[in-house]
Amino acid sequence: MKTNDDLLVFDEDEAVKYILNFIPAEFKNKISEDDIDYVLDIMYEFYEKNGYIDENSTEEADIDEEDMSEFILECIKKDEVTNISEEELQIILEGEFEYGKSIGVYKEIE
């Protein structure tokens, strides 16, 4: 039986720091902590909406990255967030994925 100690912990503050360090130099002045926080919040909304979040489960889920990107882009448009381009969003998502891999939340599909 899995206990709470077995569950992976996603630390949003650590994720933001990791992503900021992941961002290529040419985007460092374009992507802020607030931008990353916004995208992470929308990602969680997407996960909740699609039933991917269960704090008491370690079961793996297959997340359609294209659907998630489209959902986030729709939210960006709806919320009139003009400072995050599609290219910048993809960089943030790549950074979040790399952070998740580094703590064991995500695995590469082979």
Average pLDDT over every residue of 88-106: 90
Tell which residue, 31, 42, 43, has the closest CA to residue 83. 31
- What's the whole-model pTM score? 0.81
Q: How confident is the model at residue 34 (pLDDT cuts 50, 70, 90)?
A: very high
Q: How confident is the model at residue 10 (pLDDT cuts 50, 70, 90)?
A: confident
